Structure 1
């Protein structure tokens, strides 16, 4: 079967089925999209992106559309559409490991979903620098009445004390999430781009060059996740939000375990992961056993 015919069959068994399922949800009143969201356009964008998406090195960079199961491709597309997201707007991306494909929300996607689920008016983040005047109260375990005064001269990416995010609800209530710089770095340390025993951002890295934006991104992500986790799980949208998160997290963990097996982090400029070389064997020399790979955290990156 030619490649074009094979793709046509995959499209028929995935995109067309998902489109029919979405229409069924809409007709049953189970699914309502934002006024500016087109599920058809989102799936067209996803299909174009998927045609250029490859599997990992472990799977010989095979095209995901012919490598992954049709069921997992259909589920990934359905998770994307039900959440009202579009990969062309950088609201998410497709990840695969083995034969499984999943849709993973990006930072922008998490903000869009949170606004949709909570009807939030706005979601904003701000950085706190040395010299800033910050005051707030804690009532029933929640940060309230936060006041932040900042002088222009305080703005310095090397003097960040922390960051906070605010979510304004329809009734005017404001939810605030605040993190110290140590907490933010702890979240960053979950990334594969963060080296073993690394304590601070490497000069020239994304976390260093765009420290303010990365800090805001991290605290906004945490605030949104807390709101999503406290939402009603009974809705169709929340079921797909939770299901998509579980599938993508499982795939990320499997990928990280495979990529780090028998590997070590090298403290180099680009933090490359290099496989341990096999030691040369000499006659009558006993082969030394390799050390066990370090355990991998099941929690994904917060940014």
Structure 2
């Protein structure tokens, strides 16, 4: 019973913190979410999903993970316009840290948000499929031929490729099965049954993540969006792990200030409301405390992705 009460009390605090930060970023940092994206609904769906997530010891993620990492994961999800209700993302526990990772559908949705992107997709190549690569007049890699066959669908995967079509042309990324296996070997989920049981989708996700990283790092899009996409991509790789010790991490310190500032602002609002009936002058003082709380809440800017935090 106590655990259920704790969860009920946690939900509005975490979702309200993220929503307040998102609304502030819309004003001060020109954050633009997808037109039909409802951040509140996505956060509620994520919170429901989080109640099902457990660590390796079967402890609920909401108990095992730090509040900082939970807020960070929810914020990254919202910045990319993703929702677990559409199978675009999922949450995984590493130690006491929660991380959000994109599915293939989530990466497609995130990349489509970039300026000029018209089409995004990935395909797997099976043994005996007709497949040929070459180069164009600019010596850029292109897929010249892809003739999949229904008869080959159950044959081994030999590679995969991704296409990102923009108003300026089409970018191709190709990976052999050996390269895909090497990428999987670097992930935190080594030999995960998802990679074995859903090899086609996971192969498409892997090659699209590689294509997206190259495309994003050469784009002129918002640092908020591109940084969040890159951060999520790097989450799952061992060779890109970050120090998540609260005392040593700028991200964690920034999130702590976010949490603390939010609590201060809420306490100040409550204090101002309670004193309103008794003393108008006291209410004005409460309003000033709200402003102080908001200043502290946003004084350090957003929770920056790893690349920005180290720059």
Matched with 1:94 is: 91
Which residue number in structure 1 is paired with residue 162 of structure 2?
165
Match in the other structure for 1:175: 171
- CA distance, structure 2, for counterparts of residue 151 and residue 51 of structure 1: 41
Which of the numbers 177, 195, 212 marks the counterpart of 1:224? 212
- Gapped regions of structure 1 (runs ≥ 5): 196-204, 255-303
Aligned residues: 240
The question of whether the paired residues in 2 share the 8 Å contact of 1:54 and 1:62 is answered with yes
8 Å Cα contact 2:134-2:144 kept in structure 1: yes
Q: Distance in 1 between matches of 2:72 and 2:150?
A: 50
Query: What's the CA shift for 1:239?
Result: 2.9
Q: Which has the higher contact order (CA 8 A, sep 6+)?
A: 1
Aligned to 1:7: 7
Kindly indicate whether the alpha-carbon contact (under 8 Å) linking 2:161 and 2:172 is maintained by their aligned counterparts in 1. Answer: yes
Q: Is the 8 A contact 2:69 2:97 kept in 1?
A: yes
Indicate if the aligned counterparts of 2:103 and 2:205 stay in contact, CA closer than 8 A: no
Q: Tell me the TM-score normalised to structure 1 length.
A: 0.66
CA contact (8 A) 2:45 2:84 kept: yes
Is the CA contact (8 Å cut-off) linking 1:10 and 1:70 kept in structure 2? no
Q: Among 227, 232, 239, which residue is 1:239 paired with?
A: 227
TM-score (norm 2): 0.65
Mapped partners of 1:223, 1:63: distance in 2: 34
Q: Is the alpha carbon distance of 1:233 and 1:56 closer, same or farther for their aligned partners in structure 2, counting shifts above 3 Å?
A: farther
Counterpart for residue 45 of structure 1 = 45
The Cα shift of 1:77 comes to 0.9
Gaps of 5+ in 2: 243-311
| C-alpha contact (below 8 Å) 1:83/1:241 kept by paired residues | yes
Give the corresponding residue for 2:271: none
After superposition, the Cα gap between the structure-2 partners of 1:251 and 1:53, relative to the gap in structure 1 and judged at 3 Å, is farther
- Alignment check: 8 A CA contact 2:234 2:240 kept: no
Aligned mates of 1:41, 1:56 — CA distance in 2: 28
Give the superposition deviation at 1:138. Answer: 5.1
